[in-house]
Structure 1
Amino acid sequence: MMVPATAVAGAIVFGMSNGAIAASFNVSGQTFKVGASKLVGKGFKQYGGIATEKDGTQHPVAVSEIATASLYNLCQSVDASLPGVPIVLTINAGGRGKPAEASGMLIEMDSLEGDAEFKKIDIGRDASDLNSHAKQGAFGQSADEVTITGLKQVARSTSAGTFKLTGLKMKINIGKDAKECF
């Protein structure tokens, strides 16, 4: 079931439903990993969707929206290896008790793991009631609040109205140091 922890995506819905923000963009075709010790979000919505590459290749995804999110000990990694040369780009933020903060997040993901707690959750809603770009009659769910501990997510895209990365550290890791977040 997609319920346990598909977080980090949200208030962008208002802008999308009013045509102010594009609902999607061409994805690269490459996934990336996002981990966090804890995500606390308000205004959670989730439904199915399609991520499309520039060449038209389509990938079924779980779409999660969160109006506002706090991410503790955030790690993002992308495998950028060349033949025979392991290379991983990592971004870290939100440590030392000062979380990374996001608003209006929309995430298209392949998978999500973690321990999730939802407050005031509605499961089985019509997805088009959650986002005008979602397919009418498709499965959707929403919750006032979500907390996910031990977040491990494999995503294809993330968009946000704002994304404040407190304590940002970005690094290219090569060879034996080329390790992803998880």
Structure 2
Amino acid sequence: MSHGFGRTRWRRFAMVLLPSVGVCTALGIAMAQGALAASFLISGQRFQVTADKLTVRGLSIYPMVDVSKKHELVPVLVTGFRHAEISGLCQAAELDLPVVGTHTLTLTGSDERPTEATNMFLDTTFEAAGQANFRNIDIGIAQGEITKGPVDPGDRSSRFFDPSGFGQQASSATLTDVSVTSVALSAATFDVPGLRVRFDRGHRDCP
């Protein structure tokens, strides 16, 4: 299934896979904002995640619907990684606080050592990458047949998970200049060397 696709489809697939990058910093902000994971009620707050480079082993991608605390349905693309290394990690969330107004929570990792995570799941609404390279890709595999990457156990039991629905997977992937908009992130392990947290007044984007 990994052959016979035109350039346009390859670009689209690349954008689907890049979400993995957000997994790193997204975790900290998701927790801070009450966005838990695909299997839990989310806050609905969107946050930005960027990375200079994302290297993944065991990639899975499938559509899902998250549910907010206000019972709103949020269509997302779930990207799972058995293992991920993220260089140049940054995450930014804009928060509207009572009385004091808009502030931005920014998390960054070390410039010298990559962030590492295992069994990560990132729920995204937008993804982009400057370059994406994949190995052993399957596009159009049934969601219930995904084996190269992880599938959240909570998603498998969700009424929104279709075992016969469209899915994608790859044995590995490398993406550069990654930018993601996400609503939730979870990981079995999440190691961030040189973690730095800032809370500034006004709107701030990741560099």
Give the alignment's TM-score, normalised by structure 1: 0.85
Q: Given the alignment, which residue of 14, 25, 48 partners 1:33?
A: 48
Matched, 1:94 2:110: yes
Matched, 1:58 2:55: no
Residue equivalent to 2:135: 119
CA 1:23–1:109: 2 relative to 1, 3 Å: closer
Q: Distance in 2 between matches of 1:6 and 1:88?
A: 21
Q: Is the partner of 1:137 in helix, strand or coil?
A: coil
Per-residue CA deviations over 1:20-64 (Å, capped at 9, x if unaligned) read xx8611110111110000000100000100111022111110000
Residue equivalent to 2:180: 153
CA 1:94–1:122: 2 relative to 1, 3 Å: farther
Residue equivalent to 1:6: 19
The count of aligned residue pairs is: 167
- The Cα of 1:2 is off from its aligned counterpart by 4.5
The sequence identity of aligned pairs, in percent, is 30
Q: Distance in 1 between matches of 2:122 and 2:175?
A: 15
Q: Given the alignment, which residue of 40, 45, 58 partners 2:60?
A: 45
Could you tell me whether the CA contact under 8 Å between 2:132 and 2:175 is conserved in 1? yes
Gaps of 5+ in 1: 10-21
Per-residue CA deviations over 1:145-177 (Å, capped at 9, x if unaligned) read 0111001000010000000011000010114xx
CA 1:40–1:94: 2 relative to 1, 3 Å: farther
Q: Is the partner of 2:175 in helix, strand or coil?
A: strand
Greater share of strand residues, 1 or 2?
Answer: 1
Per-residue CA deviations over 1:95-135 (Å, capped at 9, x if unaligned) read 12x00110110111001100211111111100122246131
Greater share of helix residues, 1 or 2?
Answer: 2
The farther-off stretch of 82-91 and 31-40 is 82-91
Residue equivalent to 2:87: 72
Residue equivalent to 1:104: 119
Q: Is the partner of 1:181 in helix, strand or coil?
A: coil
Read off the aligned partner of 1:135 and give its amino acid letter: D
The alignment's C-alpha RMSD in Å is 1.9
Residue equivalent to 1:19: none
Q: Is the partner of 2:144 in helix, strand or coil?
A: helix
Q: Distance in 2 between matches of 1:80 and 1:23?
A: 21
Moved over 6 A (4+): none
Q: Distance in 1 between matches of 2:13 and 2:78?
A: 10
CA 1:43–1:101: 2 relative to 1, 3 Å: same
